[in-house]
Every structure is written in structure tokens, then in C-alpha cells.
Amino acid sequence: MNRIIAALGLVVVLAASPTVEAHDQATTASGASSVEKTRLYLMAGDYRRALELCERAIQEMPSVKAYLHLTYVYQAIDAYLEQLSQDESWMAVEQLYLNLAYRHTEDLVDPPGGLARMAKEMIQTSVRQQSDVSAAMAVRLDKAESDRLWQEQAQWRKAHPTTWWQAFPDSWVRQ
């Protein structure tokens, strides 16, 4: 009886090995495509979809990178709002607010409203708080990896001081 159980266990382990490897490859491939999609959403200024994609990545497989990508998107929204505020581009602030607020077609018949300056303050307060939370989660998972990724991000910001929030650092997309 013990031999039968041991043999069945061995069969299960051997059968699962290619599946685990295939799952790891699929996860890596979907992670790369997720980063590329998020990058495109940032470039388009579609911050709602960028946030949703990052949140979905965390749901699928929590990781330092996933939490830092989410943190980066929050900080990108904050920086974009700052730039719009300095430029006094209040129409663009309102468009950002609508991008973040609209989720489904029913929002077209019951649209969220808001004044642009109030929307800026509300959004910035929220994204700063959420940025701190997701950054802390990444540090709890792996402080060394978190520090490494933030160094890359700091270099990206320095190289692109007025547009860094429009995309992930190139090094994040290549990984």
C-alpha cells in the first residue's frame, strides 16, 4: 500500500513539473506584456487603466516589482497633476479626473462631476497615500530589490525630469 501511494506521489510530482515550468514561463511572459501595456497606458495618459493593470498584476502574483509598478503609477499621477497645475491646465486636470472616475458606459448617463482644482487636491491626496502604502508593501517583500528598482527609477526621473511620468523606466520594460 505504501509503495502504491509513493508511486502515485511520484507520478503527480513528475506530471506537475512541466506544468509548473510552463506556468512560470507564462507568468514571465504575461508580466512582460503587463509592463509594456502599462507603459503604453502611461504614454497615452490613461492612468485609470494603468492603475487597474497594476492592481490586477498584484492580484495575480504579488511581488516587489508589482507593488513598485503600482507605486510608480501613483507617483506619475501626482507628478502629472503638479505639472498641469504649474501650467494652469485646469481643463486637462478635469480630463484626468474624468479618466480616473469613469469606469463603465453607465457613467455616461450619470457622470461624476467636480471642479478641476478640487479634483486635483482630492486625487493628489489619494495617490500620495496609496503610493506610500504600496511602496511599504514592496519593501516588506524584499527591501534590497525595492531599493534597486527605486535607484533605476531615480535615474529615469533624472534623465527625463519633465516627462518621467509618461512611461516606466526603460530598464523596467526590458526585464
Question: In this predicted model, which residue has the larger pLDDT, 30 or 5?
Answer: 30
How much of the chain exceeds pLDDT 90, in percent?
Answer: 55
- Look at residues 115, 133, 130 and name the one whose alpha carbon lies nearest to residue 47: 130
Question: Average model confidence (pLDDT) for the chain?
Answer: 80
Show Cβ contacts of residue 9 under 8 Å, excluding neighbours closer than 6 positions. Answer: none
Cα–Cα distance for residue pair 82/124, rounded to 1 Å: 9
Q: How many residues in total does the chain contain?
A: 175
Lowest model confidence (mean pLDDT) among 24-28, 43-47, 48-52, 83-87:
24-28
For the stretch 113-137, pLDDT in tens is: 656 778 888 899 999 999 999 999 9
Tell me the residue range of the domain where 16 lies: 2-174
The grid cell for 49 is 487603466
Question: In this predicted model, which residue has the larger pLDDT, 129 or 18?
Answer: 129
Measured in whole angstroms, the distance separating CA 104 from the mean position of its chain's CA atoms is: 20
Is pLDDT at 67 greater than 70 in this prediction? yes
Cα–Cα distance for residue pair 43/27, rounded to 1 Å: 24
Question: How many domains does the chain contain in total?
Answer: 1
- Look at residues 65, 120, 79, 61 and name the one whose alpha carbon lies nearest to residue 96: 120
pLDDT score recorded for residue 133: 93
Is pLDDT at 63 greater than 90 in this prediction? yes
What is the pTM for the complete model shown?
0.69
pLDDT-derived band at 149, boundaries 50, 70, 90: very high
pLDDT score recorded for residue 111: 58
Is pLDDT at 153 greater than 80 in this prediction? yes
